[in-house]
Structure 1
Amino acid sequence: MADIDDLVEAVVDVEDVIEEVGDPEELVGDLIEDPFVIVFGLVAGFAGLLTMLLFAVTVGAILLSVGPLWILVSLTVFMFLVLLLAFGAFLYVRTSLSDSVQQKFDEALARADTNSNSTGSMTEQEAIDELKRLYAEGDLRDHELDQALDDVLTSDDPQRVLERYRDTDSAEYEYS
């Protein structure tokens, strides 16, 4: 993953995982859905925090020339290695969607209505998440993605739209 945008996006994703600690219900839900991403995200976040703290303490101890510095330096280096390994593992297990495709899903989620309506049992967000899964598994093609997202966002029944995309083998989709 040499693309800087993907690395920045991964750091933001780690930050989002850390923010979920404040909302245990969402954290548990995401942990059940994708445990490795959450675990590696939490480890990377906490390792980063501890690395910065140990680095600050080490610099302070060097400036004050206090105590056995080799302990602080070795702890700092160890936590930096833990940070690199956890972040690398997070990058490895997180979604394999490209940055541009992920941005399409993020924009659609931002526009989505979170309330289920009376005609359907699925919210637009749930339908978009399912489209994301279909795309990641290769069941939805690039040329179909934009239309599928638009259809889910404009339909009165996102579940019905999603079922059409699940049931069709890459046929052209027309909705009235």
Structure 2
Amino acid sequence: MFPARIRAGAALAPVLLALSGCSSWGCADTTAERGEAGVSVRVENTYGQRSGVSAEVVDWGLRPHPQLPSEGDQVHFTYRFDGADEYSGPAVDACAVDEKRVALGCRTVHASAARARPDGALTGDDWLTVEHPGQVAAVLLIPNDRSYDRPTCDQDVKDGGGTHPPAPAGTGDQL
């Protein structure tokens, strides 16, 4: 009925649409599981595979922030990345937690914001604002790399999708 060329072209049309990104049939989003928080962690990519980078809370304490001393004590902590690239290294969430490992305040720390040391490590320090500083029992790191989160299918059907880091840790999360 139709010449062979037309039948062959019709069969290729869906394949060409999918390859050109004109189809949303292949776009799917998944979210990685949150890794186990600790004082020292091995950084994991979105697939749960260790990246060869470790992160550690070296020290922490309560003291007034130098730019906001009237707000009282806040959590000051020092961190270290080993095996990270100082220009495009990973980022992990750091959280001040109480005795039950409930997050009192969190923020993301980036290896690229740290300073290079002669031993190859990257070290930095930061502050966590918490409502009740006296309840802080530790500062923990969550191993999931937060340095890159690709677009979701809703944001970009053509280039989005894939596995995304878990939602950032926040106040009240059980770690």
Q: TM-score, normalised by structure 1?
A: 0.24
Bigger CA radius of gyration: 2
Q: Which has the higher contact order (CA 8 A, sep 6+)?
A: 2
Q: TM-score, normalised by structure 2?
A: 0.24
- The structure in which a higher percent of residues are helix is 1
